[in-house]
A and B are shown apart, each in its own frame.
Chain A
Amino acid sequence: MILSAHHLGRDYPTPSGPLTVLDGITFSLEAGESLAVVGPSGSGKSTLLGLLAGLDQPSRGRIEIEGRDLSAFSDSESAAFRARRMGFVFQSHRLLPALSALENVRTPLDLAGAADATTRAIAWLERVGLGARRDHQPRQLSGGEQQRVAVARALANDPALIFADEPTGSLDQRTGADLADLLFSLAAERRTTLVLVTHDERVAARCARQLRLVDGRVQA
């Protein structure tokens, strides 16, 4: 088992008392499995993704990744774990605008201290069909190309887990489908576990499992 969540909950303090945005979330994933987290806006999907990635601390419950309790990690351990074992794809690509496509893909490799960062980044850009555009800035790329660079960046470190938050949400239908193909095929090829938050039923349907959230709880 690569990832498991046990009775996960998250509250936020408000002037009128704690607001529960997630409660009682329990699930587990095997290596290479894919999970779609679906549900209406405000149901807690992105919050769950943040907790699973170690970017936020749960108010209760426990998360285990590769058998290790995520809440026991310090900030730097958690960061180092993300750099080595996790990849991210955001709704709006979230490329660093000051860096070229190559430098963007290199970034997680640099953060993980990889010695052959440039070679690996170039290889990943070629895999997503953007080898010729490696020195372009994000603003010189189309929306679909930017998102492909984001996929290459997510996979650059050969992570065990990829978290994708609405990866096709900002793309048109055709480009979105192409990107989903790319993401699923690369994840399958490398037996990478995929957790994606999406509103797109077609993308969700391509995942092995679905987790439907309503008001912060799993709907059976």
Chain B
Amino acid sequence: MTARIRLAWRLLVGRRGLAVLALACIAIGVAARGAVTGTVAAFEAHLAREARSLIAADLEVSSARPLESAVRESLAAVLPPGSRTAELRTLTAMAAGGGQAVMVELAAIGEGWPLVGALGGEPVASVIDLGRSPQAALVDPDLLPRLKLQVGDELVLGRGHFRIVGSIVSEPGNGGSAFRLGPKVYVPLAALGPAGLGDPGIRARFHLLATVPDPADALAVATALRHRLKLSEAPLEIMGPGPAGDQVSVRTAGEAAQTAARAIARGADFLRLVALFALGLGAIGVAALARAMMLTQAEDLAVLRVLGADRTSVAGVFLLQAVGLGLAGGLLGTGLGAGLATGATLAMGLAPAWPLTIDLALGLVLGIAAALVSTLVPTLTLARMAPLAVLRGEAPAAIPWVTTALILAATLGTTLILAAVEVRSWLIGPSIAAGAFILAGGLALAGGLLLPVIARLKPPSFALRQGWANLSRSGGTLLVALGLAAALGSALLTLRGSILAELAPDRLTQLPGFFVLDVQDDQQAAFTAFLGERGLVPNLRPLVRARLQAIDGVETKAAGEAVALRSREAERRAFFHRREQNLTWAVAPGPGEHLIAGRWPQAATECAVETRWADQVGVRLGSRLRFDVQGVEIELTITGLRRIDWLTFQPNMFITCAPAALSGAPAVWIGTIPTMATPLRQTFTADLARRFPNITAIDIGDATVKARALVARLSAGIAAVAVVALLAGLAVVAGTAAAMARARRQESALIRALGGTRRTVALALAVEFGTATIVAAVLGSAAGLVGGLLLTTSQMQVSLTIPWLEVTALILVLSSTATGTALITTRSAWHVPPLAVLREE
């Protein structure tokens, strides 16, 4: 065995150029995965460390309704001696000052808050002032310039006049949420009532927080409290910033951290898939390099066969090289990934953390597996070779196509499983992976048809003729690898471009000006009149909150608890089952709403639901839904399916009924206000805040700016991993070029011996690689556009907008860098004196 390892090593060292490229191909994909895993691990470690400060306590009890005395008594009964409690109320409100108004996230803090962590202000004494004065407000520094205010100025919240005592420097966590509807403002809890912000019509969240002497007891206390309150389940918050709805929610700091970690993990799933894509590209490169290594080692290994090595030993020597490359590539990639993750986490101000050992091991295993799978065909070819034929100069005979097909099928199956594991979805991961395989097949087929056509062209220029004639030599592999990289880049660009186009400032003229929330039933007439005085007509929809209890007679709670929540689909379904449902009523479809199947609900027992909601919940036309509408049970049959254009920003709900269905149910109204002229806009929010302090108006222009910024941030993260995939594509190009370097050296030497110049040779190579890379980039980008179209229209329901400039730039950059890479890799073909090559051969 030692002798075989030594021989494998020496043979590998003898082809170190190819080996280094193969190493790079594997390392890039493993590094991308390691970077994602390491960054997520750092986030999780941070969340675990800072769990208590996420909710500023060990335990939180909250509800959208004031907490009843029974809840408080139950908490008091389960808390061990030495525990402390504090109150907090959170709500959105309009903050006015300087003649303008801005929607803010208001936190009204009771005595003793925060129980964990500290609130920091500038000046430092401002936090003390906040505790002493009932009219003090500590505000987000961003709010001051927006309202043209300074510390010491007056801020109007509801009907209350507050003095800004300072700006926020640091605060305990935001419950694990990264999302904010507006700047944060802290006021004393006692100030809410006098300001009119404690009225029953004001929608707020009521929090009762507690710390226990030993934080490790928090979960036991929470379980005991849930038992007393007859809450059978822990909160399931995978989609939103925190608990919502009227039902009392109990959660520990650890559970809040887990929720936040789960949200991060959901995002990381896709990044891992992109990393897997990069590894797949790398495997294509390794396959090309392995074939080259097989061809260059075939004679040596044939000699070994003659000297007494059997087929298994010969294949073993080659396989040992693959394992060595996979292990080295995996280790290098893991190290690089850890370095990238460390850099990224430090840049985000977090302490780096090492991923779990199992994640590190998986990276290594993936590296080795990629190397082994890529070298399987050449290994079997070597095992079957006839040594004498190889020693006579013949290439080893190809293995039967059935074996190749079986290897491909096994590779496909393994990749689909890996993709499912990486995305934690048996639907999304395998679908995307299968799409990539189909695309690879399509690119290979297109290459197989197109490249021979180009190769048959006989232009007068020798360089063109020679370059195109050689296209079939390496074009196939190069086309698939670079085409896949281009497809990924183009699809991401299209997706990003389409979403940004939907949120573009010039679209604002087609959108409403404001989105309004929490218009009470009894305010509807006055609110409409208030707008009418300003020449504005609102589009209001009633909103009735309910819980989904059963689907076709099957309790959803039981179904939700039964799922292990191991997959995205299970998580989403459980979430959609358990979340608070928003119902509305209407006699006909509203703006941006289309009935696409069935009929509009007419009877009190009928409803129409949004198609994607129906998919998530697992219902269809004719399904029966039983809701608990604030204590009253109603059963509705689905008679229609609706598609809603959410990006019109028009108010709508997943479930709409006939008006009779929700007759008498307590409703609030939400809606939109048309865009308005600037002079009116400047005073509108301030007037609205004065007249209706409980109504929240979200400026859609501001919201789209925030959404654009969010999309830009998210796409930057994905782009970073996608760049790795492009690098993997370039590594494959280098590998493909290197794989044929020997043949090119011979051919170039011959051309130069026959009178060609170095320039002629370089030009012919540039034509060959340039044509192949441009064809690959164009075909791949076109496929990416189709993928982008499918994603935008079917999954995201936004219109396709092709960012032509960026896609063209992608094609040019990718093809030129790939051509440059290939030329550098094959420089020996046009640099080395021809005589040296001819003598050597």
Interface residue ranges, A against B (CB under 8 Å): 46-47, 50, 53, 55-56, 75-76, 78-84, 86, 88, 90, 94, 96-99, 103, 106-108, 110-112, 117, 153
Contacts and interface: CB of A to CB of B under 8 A. Distances in A.
A103 B303 CA distance: 14
B388 A56 contact: yes
A90 B306 CA distance: 10
Contacts of A80: 308, 310
B323 to A, nearest CB: 18
Size bracket, chain B contacts: 20 to 34
A97 B307 contact: no
B300 A79 contact: no
B307 A153 contact: yes
A155 to B, nearest CB: 12
B508 interface: no
Interface in B258-310: 299-300, 303-310
Interface of B: 3, 6-7, 10-11, 13-14, 299-300, 303-313, 386-388, 391-392
14 contacts: A55-B387, A55-B388, A76-B312, A79-B309, A79-B311, A86-B308, A88-B307, A94-B303, A96-B7, A98-B300, A99-B7, A103-B10, A108-B307, A111-B304
B19 to A, nearest CB: 12
B13 A76 contact: no
A56 B386 contact: yes
Contacts of A82: 306-308
B535 to A, nearest CB: 87
A55 B3 CA distance: 23
A111 B309 contact: yes
A108 to B, nearest CB: 5
A111 B303 contact: no
Contacts of A111: 3, 304, 307-309, 313
B308 A79 contact: yes
B306 A75 contact: no
A3 to B, nearest CB: 17
Contacts of B312: 76
Nearest to B299: A94
Contacts of B313: 79, 111
Instruction: Name, among B308, B310, B386, B392, the residue most crowded by chain A CB atoms within 10 Å (CB to CB).
Output: B308
Contacts of A86: 308
Nearest to A53: B306
A97 B296 CA distance: 11
Nearest to B2: A110
Given A50-B388, A90-B391, A103-B10, A83 B300 contact: no
Given A46-B388, A76-B312, A79-B310, A55 B305 contact: yes
Contacts of A99: 7, 10
A184 B566 CA distance: 75
Pairs A-B, 6 closest by C-beta atoms:
A83-B308, A98-B14, A79-B310, A110-B3, A76-B310, A82-B308
Contacts of A96: 7, 10-11, 300, 303-304
Contacts of A56: 386, 388
A158 to B, nearest CB: 13
Contact of A88 (B6, B10, B300, B306): B306
Contacts of A55: 305-306, 386-388
Given A83-B307, A107-B7, 11 more contacts: A47-B388, A55-B388, A56-B388, A79-B305, A80-B310, A81-B308, A82-B306, A96-B11, A97-B300, A98-B14, A111-B307
Contacts of A107: 3, 7, 304, 307
B310 to A, nearest CB: 4
Contacts of B11: 96, 98
A131 to B, nearest CB: 21
Instruction: Name, among B14, B299, B303, B392, the residue most crowded by chain A CB atoms within 10 Å (CB to CB).
Output: B303
A117 B307 CA distance: 15
Contacts of B387: 55
Contacts of A90: 303, 391
A62 B308 CA distance: 21
A96 B311 CA distance: 18
Contacts of A110: 3, 7
B316 to A, nearest CB: 12
Nearest to B387: A55
A86 to B, nearest CB: 7
B388 A112 contact: no
Nearest to B13: A98
A35 B307 CA distance: 20
Contact of A112 (B308, B311, B386): B308
B600 to A, nearest CB: 72
Contacts of B310: 75-76, 78-80
Contacts of A75: 310-311
Instruction: Name, among B305, B306, B391, the residue most crowded by chain A CB atoms within 10 Å (CB to CB).
Output: B306
A110 B2 CA distance: 9
Given A79-B313, A103-B10, A111-B313, A94 B308 contact: no
A78 B312 CA distance: 13
Nearest to A150: B303
Contacts of B307: 82-83, 88, 107-108, 111, 153
A147 B391 CA distance: 16
Nearest to B10: A98
Nearest to B840: A139
A216 to B, nearest CB: 16
A79 B388 CA distance: 14
A98 B10 CA distance: 6
Nearest to B310: A79
A76 B313 CA distance: 9
Contacts of A103: 6, 10
A107 B78 CA distance: 78
B698 to A, nearest CB: 70
A181 to B, nearest CB: 24
B381 to A, nearest CB: 16
A99 B13 CA distance: 10
A97 B14 contact: yes
A84 B7 CA distance: 19
Contacts of A78: 310
Contacts of B299: 94
B389 to A, nearest CB: 9
A111 B313 CA distance: 9
B343 to A, nearest CB: 38
Contacts of B386: 55-56
Nearest to B4: A110
Nearest to B383: A75
Contacts of B306: 53, 55, 82, 88
Nearest to A46: B388
A193 B598 CA distance: 92
B17 to A, nearest CB: 13
B620 to A, nearest CB: 61
